[in-house]
Structure 1
Amino acid sequence: MKMQLSTLALVLTMALSGCATQPSSSTSATAQPAVASTPSTDIVKRSLAEGLYEMALSPTGDALYVASAEGFKDVQGGMVYKLDPATLKTLGATHTDLKNFAMQITPDGKTLYVTNSLDGGISAINTADGKVKARLLFSERNEKGLPYGARQILLHGDTLYVGAVADPALIWVVDANTLKLKTRIKNTGKWMTGLHYSDQTGRLYAANGSGEILVINPRNNRVEQRWKPLGEKPALLLNLAEDADTGRLFVTDNSKAKTTLVLDIHTGKVIKQLDVGDSLSVLFNPKRHEIYISQRDSGKVLSLDATRYTVKKSWDLPPHPNSLTLSADGQTLFVTVKQPFNKDHSTKGPDSVVRLDLTH
């Protein structure tokens, strides 16, 4: 277990996790500190379990699924929790023999896909009965004989794209209906992290630990462009979100540059660099024209005006806000909040799920 944990330290410390105005051409930061904390009446918080990572809302909005790896010390397997989005009370739970990290849900809400990062695989879960109905374990091994970490997972049509935390990295391309491996996208740099598909451009965007954004054609799975927005500066690009109306791609870096980049999704040009502090998960909300950023180190979640890039609100959610999920109507934001690890891989308490009402 110790070797596995050291291999996937990157996975455990990073987020698992997506305007009518024209963006500014300036590359300098303009974000301002929040003037006040958000009132506590806006927040519903529940301590749930160890090892919480990504979330997914059912298409009908009546269930919030939370992927859990559970404990990393003397605990085998994981859980997928089904919560009431309004109250965060438990509606159901699936016990799994492998640990769960990233998550996607089908448009019909019938299937959840989760990554089993420590074992280098993915599982499909039937939401009707909570049973694991299919699984794929990838064959790749690193120099220590351990599986490549399956980090982020993206569902596009009938295809799953799964990023491998490895050096060199790759992207597994999987049939979502059969969970059969279709092909591999290789030469993707070091540590494949964020994945995003743009309906506007018809392209897949992939972030990596080499400071690159890869532009991939999903029709032939070829890398068409490689952007390096920070040049030769050290960067571990992480999570991605898009404003489709203005063609902006938001990219976080919580390790090296500790910033959020705003890129032109067509050219990769840097429109703005937001120096709001450490940046982990990022979401764009077209309904409210806001950008949300979780700050693991600072223990905050920020809401930014998507035109001026100024901070509108700041929620204190210590110790470590992690993944973000937005309701379909754009009025509720869900956050997983993690506890720090002890030296023996235990944690100082259960992780939490937080519901933020954005209307106040």
Structure 2
Amino acid sequence: MNKKRSALMLLVGLALAGCSAQQGGGASATATGTPAAAATQSAQLQKNALGDGLYEMALTPDGRALYVASAQGFKDVQGGAIYKLDPATLKVLGITHTDLKNFGVAMDPQGKTLYVTNSLDGGVSALDIASGKITGRLLFSERNEKGFPYGAREILWHDGQLFIGGVADPGVIWVVDAKTLKLKKRINNAGKWVTGLHYSAQTQRLYAANGGGEILVINPRSYAIEQRWQPLGEKPALLLNLAEDKQGGRLFVTDNSKAKTTLVLDIRSGKLIKQLDNGDSLAVKYNPQRQELYLTQRESGKLLILDAHSYATKRSVSLPPHPNSLLLSADGQTLYVTVKQAFNKDGSTQGPDSIVRVPLNQ
């Protein structure tokens, strides 16, 4: 694998997935209780070994289609794909093959356009839902000291704009017009490696996590960074993904490599409410309907289901080798998980990545 591809894969691995030599098999469920109970839970899971390079997911507003971004392979494979699945069966309904590799996703509220980040090329593409075609693209001009594009990692749709985090040092947040895909603004000095993005309707602020252990509080109208929180102080932290408890005013933040924890913050003050001792945490989702918190753990290969009040683990689901991204259905009763395989030294993977459907009301 050439040096450019190695460096870019490291960038994406750092921000989106991570890599490990650990091998694993298919999806299974393990929970506290008897082996029979674990076997019953395993039978309730649905799994589709879809293909290489699966990352983030999005549901259409009507819940009839599930989209999965795929980078495809990193060895001798050009381009990527976007899969359209039946959310109930995980059956493939359609595939859009793309010339660039796809990672992060965001759906517009009308369900007409899916936006995907092309991390290795430092850009964003728009997929027309009706036709399944790529209808627009913007490639950002920034390059690092080695000449590589800044990695376009997480993407968020808000008020007709796309906020896209740039993985660089220092990082940047690009603000893009969602209709025209024209660059409107650069939010600079966003710290080392902008990773997670979240908008809170309660505070009307954008929150950005970075690899320097910071949470940036940003005014989405003026684009000003109003506050910079460092919840763990000077301790090393690589903060990743964010989720919000709107009624409780809590912001959940994960770290799967440095502090290896989940932080619970007051969303208005940034005060650290609780630091969860569950180990490495990658993706995070909060479920207000069930009062539950969901975490993926790449090292242990588990999905954790926590009581959102006591933070006690209600259920642990084994999804080896590396559960990655999470998506929650609108009714809060179904969770979708992408499960990644490990990379070989030559950049190939040890098997196809999978998507798993986890029913929460059984």
TM-score, structure 2 as length reference: 0.93
Structure-2 residue corresponding to 1:28: none
How far off its partner does 1:34 sit? Answer: 5.7
Structure-1 residue corresponding to 2:166: 164
User: For structure 2, which runs of at least 5 residues remain unmatched after alignment?
Assistant: 18-29
CA contact 2:12–2:120 (8 Å) conserved in 1: no
CA contact 2:31–2:317 (8 Å) conserved in 1: no
Structure-2 residue corresponding to 1:201: 203
Deviations 1:172-210 (A, max 9, x none): 000001000001000111000000000000000000001
Structure-1 residue corresponding to 2:300: 298
CA contact 2:261–2:279 (8 Å) conserved in 1: yes
Which of 94, 117, 122 is matched with 1:115 structurally? 117
Which of 6, 10, 32 is matched with 1:35 structurally? 32
Deviations 1:200-238 (A, max 9, x none): 000000000010000000110000000000000000000
Aligned identity (percent) is: 69
Structure-2 residue corresponding to 1:30: none
How far off its partner does 1:11 sit? Answer: 1.9
- Equivalent position amino acid for 1:35 in 2: T
Partner Cα separation in structure 2 for residue 359 and residue 113 of structure 1 = 31
CA contact 2:15–2:153 (8 Å) conserved in 1: no
How far off its partner does 1:339 sit? Answer: 0.2
Residue pairs, 1:236-315, within 5 angstroms:
236-315=238-317
Partner Cα separation in structure 2 for residue 114 and residue 291 of structure 1 = 26
Partner Cα separation in structure 1 for residue 277 and residue 315 of structure 2 = 16
- Equivalent position amino acid for 2:32 in 1: V
User: What is the root-mean-square deviation of aligned Cα atoms in Å?
Assistant: 1.2
Partner Cα separation in structure 2 for residue 291 and residue 276 of structure 1 = 12
Partner Cα separation in structure 2 for residue 248 and residue 109 of structure 1 = 28
- Equivalent position amino acid for 2:146 in 1: K
Structure-2 residue corresponding to 1:5: 6
Show structure 1 runs of 4+ deviating over 4 A: none
Deviations 1:19-63 (A, max 9, x none): xxxxxxxxxxxxxx9624471132001100000000001111111
Residue pairs, 1:339-350, within 5 angstroms:
339-350=341-352
CA contact 1:4–1:146 (8 Å) conserved in 2: no
Partner Cα separation in structure 2 for residue 205 and residue 128 of structure 1 = 32
Structure-2 residue corresponding to 1:63: 65
Partner Cα separation in structure 2 for residue 5 and residue 131 of structure 1 = 30
- Equivalent position amino acid for 1:126 in 2: D
Partner Cα separation in structure 1 for residue 48 and residue 186 of structure 2 = 39
Partner Cα separation in structure 1 for residue 205 and residue 316 of structure 2 = 33
- Equivalent position amino acid for 2:8 in 1: T
- Equivalent position amino acid for 2:159 in 1: G
User: For structure 1, which runs of at least 5 residues remain unmatched after alignment?
Assistant: 17-32
> In structure 2, the residue corresponding to 1:236 is in which secondary structure?
coil
Which of 44, 49, 52 is matched with 1:50 structurally? 52
> In structure 2, the residue corresponding to 1:39 is in which secondary structure?
helix
Which of 133, 136, 140 is matched with 1:134 structurally? 136
Higher relative contact order (CA 8 A, sep 6+): 1
How far off its partner does 1:13 sit? Answer: 4.6
How far off its partner does 1:14 sit? Answer: 4.2
